[in-house]
A and B are shown apart, each in its own frame.
Chain A
């Protein structure tokens, strides 16, 4: 009787164990991708770059592990690259969209309607209409959406070699993949993988892998559900709920703030990379290098630079020897940063190039300032 009982227990336990294993397998084993009918990689890249007009509604999750240090005033922007961000998007076209950054305590939404941007923050119960535009702003959740991220990367690296990746299933759709491998030997980016809906070219998943750890992406963004139809008009129009505040603020006047600094004109070349004709309205700002290996020079006040150098050094930054002043380099799996302080003005160099390139650039910069 006892032996029979044990046999039955064993059979039933096995049955339950097999059921549990089947449930786990159903949740983890990827579905076959199915046929995508994708064009060749170069044609798919062109199709992806031309997909901005494709309307869609969906939900995305972006996950980053860039290991950036916490910086005052930049907490929200840095969190986008160091944690998981839940994003909902309603995209009717390049001039009509809404992107919600979803948090456990509320949400922060951006509405873009025919050139006018408004933001809704549930926490502060405030709808803010942003008047005017600025050529540079801090990163926001909308920048991490696979379509925006993929198009921005492919636009920055139009000539880098591209190869096909195996198709995979993303958001319930068969997606065709391409891998862009930067030709620049000094970039921190090993490769960028993009999977897109083959017919519309809408990117559904993006993986950015750094050279420091080629086995695991440092930034992954995926639409986990998507509907390729235009959203209803009413979800694209912000409303001011009772009790909430409505405000208008001018777009950040970065040019004015920079003019106060009185920065010198950025050199035409740094670390062997020519300056691109970007942001001519922003004095002192210089963008150097092409493709996925570039960096930007940002002038800062001497006081802020000194604080940043001290903070970076305390956080494990590597000192860089410069002709005048002092400088510290910080490297993360994807971004390298060098800060130089000394005198009334300092400089911040940040980009997707190796710290050695930025160290060379800051040395040239300090030599020129002497």
Chain B
């Protein structure tokens, strides 16, 4: 069933459109930066954006920071909101459940499919932005001196191996953060027959979380907000890497996934399916 869901996902045109749009935004930014050479002033703009002009290898980090707040959540909301509600609205859910397959197994297959979508989304953005970044901005001053490293946020030079390891860590971390939204989307998808309503529900969670984040009055719940730890991956590009915030972020995201998937299971396995 998992293989079937994965194949179905890869056959969907909207999935490929989401990935293409995700890769397009950083490409547009890279083209604009490369032609105007006008980077944001230091300390302003997206993370790493002021530094990419001098080293294109930093562009994947800048690209991830660009798509993280809005575009990535929107695509995950669309795909996860469609997981169950899409079947229901198309009238295929009851036929799907006629097969000798448990509802929990179906939910798990949907979760794996959404996880694959988020992981591939982050990987595709990283790979395309690396290619675009190197083409637009080059390998940086270290390459001119015969080296091949990039400057960490702390000033120490990272070797290509260290850079690859930290980028892989970032990809995994962001995929997990997005899987949280995916699990919430699957839960909402079990509540309604409308994929759009489920997707909007996910975006409502994101907006609410982002709105509560800066409020002093929300201090007690801040650490549990799903968006609170999204930028923790930046700490991986310090030297030595700082893992405290990433560790907390992983714990919070896993908690959300567990609860949201549990809620989806509690609702879906006892639901009267008529669509």
The answer to whether A102 and B242 touch (CB under 8 A), given A12-B269, A19-B259, A242-B145, is yes
CA distance A20 to B252 in the complex (A): 11
The answer to whether A5 and B270 touch (CB under 8 A), given A103-B43, A106-B43, A121-B42, is yes
Contacts of A5 in B (CB 8 A): 270-272
The 8 Å CB contact of B155, one of A6, A27, A122, is A122
Contacts of A136 in B (CB 8 A): none
CA distance A239 to B157 in the complex (A): 9
A8 smallest CB distance to B (angstroms): 5
**Contact of A324 with B by CB under 8 A:** no
The answer to whether A27 and B224 touch (CB under 8 A), given A102-B238, A225-B244, is yes
B166 smallest CB distance to A (angstroms): 15
Across the two chains, which residue of chain B brings its CB closest to A107? B153
- Selected interface stretch from B8-16, B26-34, B48-56: B48-56
Report whether A109 and B244 are in contact in the complex, using a CB–CB cutoff of 8 Å. Answer: no
B52-68 CB contacts (< 8 Å) to partner A: 54-55
Contacts of B99 in A (CB 8 A): none
Report whether B259 and A59 are in contact in the complex, using a CB–CB cutoff of 8 Å. Answer: no
Contacts of B46 in A (CB 8 A): 105
Report whether A244 and B42 are in contact in the complex, using a CB–CB cutoff of 8 Å. Answer: no
CA distance A225 to B104 in the complex (A): 40
The answer to whether A242 and B151 touch (CB under 8 A), given A5-B272, A102-B242, A124-B42, is yes
B214-267 CB contacts (< 8 Å) to partner A: 216, 220, 223-224, 231, 234-235, 238-240, 242, 244, 251-252, 255, 258-259, 262-263, 265-267
The 8 Å CB contact of A109, one of B50, B145, B154, B267, is B154
Across the two chains, which residue of chain A brings its CB closest to B158? A241
Contacts of B224 in A (CB 8 A): 24, 27
**Contact of A23 with B by CB under 8 A:** yes
CA distance A288 to B234 in the complex (A): 44
CA distance A104 to B47 in the complex (A): 6
Report whether B244 and A224 are in contact in the complex, using a CB–CB cutoff of 8 Å. Answer: yes
CA distance A230 to B146 in the complex (A): 34
A131-162 CB contacts (< 8 Å) to partner B: none
Report whether A9 and B142 are in contact in the complex, using a CB–CB cutoff of 8 Å. Answer: no
Across the two chains, which residue of chain B brings its CB closest to A9? B270
Report whether A241 and B155 are in contact in the complex, using a CB–CB cutoff of 8 Å. Answer: yes
A25-51 CB contacts (< 8 Å) to partner B: 27-28
The 8 Å CB contact of B259, one of A20, A100, A243, is A20
A230-258 CB contacts (< 8 Å) to partner B: 235, 238-244
Chain B 19-49 per-residue mask, 1 if CB under 8 angstroms from chain A, else 0: 0000000000000000000000111111110
Report whether A15 and B154 are in contact in the complex, using a CB–CB cutoff of 8 Å. Answer: no
CA distance A120 to B157 in the complex (A): 13
Contacts of B269 in A (CB 8 A): 8, 12
A4 smallest CB distance to B (angstroms): 9
Report whether B244 and A125 are in contact in the complex, using a CB–CB cutoff of 8 Å. Answer: no
CA distance A125 to B141 in the complex (A): 12
Report whether B151 and A125 are in contact in the complex, using a CB–CB cutoff of 8 Å. Answer: yes
Contacts of B244 in A (CB 8 A): 59, 224-225
The answer to whether A16 and B263 touch (CB under 8 A), given A5-B272, A8-B270, A102-B238, is yes
CA distance A28 to B222 in the complex (A): 11
Report whether A65 and B216 are in contact in the complex, using a CB–CB cutoff of 8 Å. Answer: yes
Report whether B259 and A16 are in contact in the complex, using a CB–CB cutoff of 8 Å. Answer: yes
Chain B 146-171 per-residue mask, 1 if CB under 8 angstroms from chain A, else 0: 01000101111100000000000000
Across the two chains, which residue of chain A brings its CB closest to B223? A27
Report whether B155 and A238 are in contact in the complex, using a CB–CB cutoff of 8 Å. Answer: yes
**Contact of A185 with B by CB under 8 A:** no
B119-141 CB contacts (< 8 Å) to partner A: 140-141
Report whether A243 and B155 are in contact in the complex, using a CB–CB cutoff of 8 Å. Answer: no
A130 smallest CB distance to B (angstroms): 16
Report whether A122 and B154 are in contact in the complex, using a CB–CB cutoff of 8 Å. Answer: yes
CA distance A2 to B242 in the complex (A): 53
Contacts of B145 in A (CB 8 A): 242
CA distance A27 to B224 in the complex (A): 9
**Contact of A88 with B by CB under 8 A:** yes
Report whether B43 and A19 are in contact in the complex, using a CB–CB cutoff of 8 Å. Answer: no
**Contact of A127 with B by CB under 8 A:** yes
B150 smallest CB distance to A (angstroms): 9
**Contact of A123 with B by CB under 8 A:** yes
**Contact of A13 with B by CB under 8 A:** yes
Across the two chains, which residue of chain A brings its CB closest to B219? A63
CA distance A242 to B146 in the complex (A): 10
CA distance A107 to B237 in the complex (A): 11
Contacts of B154 in A (CB 8 A): 100, 107, 109, 120, 122
Question: B residues bordering A, Cβ < 8 Å?
Answer: 41-48, 50-51, 54-55, 140-142, 144-145, 147, 151, 153-157, 216, 220, 223-224, 231, 234-235, 238-240, 242, 244, 251-252, 255, 258-259, 262-263, 265-267, 269-272
List 17 other contacts, CB 8 Å, given A16-B263, A24-B224, A243-B142.
Answer: A5-B272, A9-B267, A9-B270, A12-B270, A16-B259, A20-B262, A27-B223, A27-B224, A28-B220, A59-B244, A65-B216, A100-B154, A104-B47, A105-B44, A122-B153, A123-B41, A224-B244
A-B contact pairs, 29 of them (CB 8 A): A2-B272, A5-B271, A9-B266, A9-B267, A9-B270, A9-B271, A13-B263, A13-B267, A19-B262, A20-B259, A88-B238, A102-B235, A104-B231, A105-B44, A105-B45, A106-B43, A106-B153, A107-B238, A123-B42, A125-B51, A125-B54, A127-B155, A225-B244, A239-B155, A241-B142, A241-B156, A243-B55, A244-B151, A244-B155
Question: A residues bordering B, Cβ < 8 Å?
Answer: 2, 5-6, 8-9, 12-13, 15-16, 19-20, 23-24, 27-28, 59, 65, 88, 100, 102-107, 109, 120-125, 127, 224-225, 235, 238-244
Kindly list the 4 A-B residue pairs having the minimum CB-CB distance in the complex, ordered from nearest.
A123-B42, A243-B141, A12-B266, A16-B262
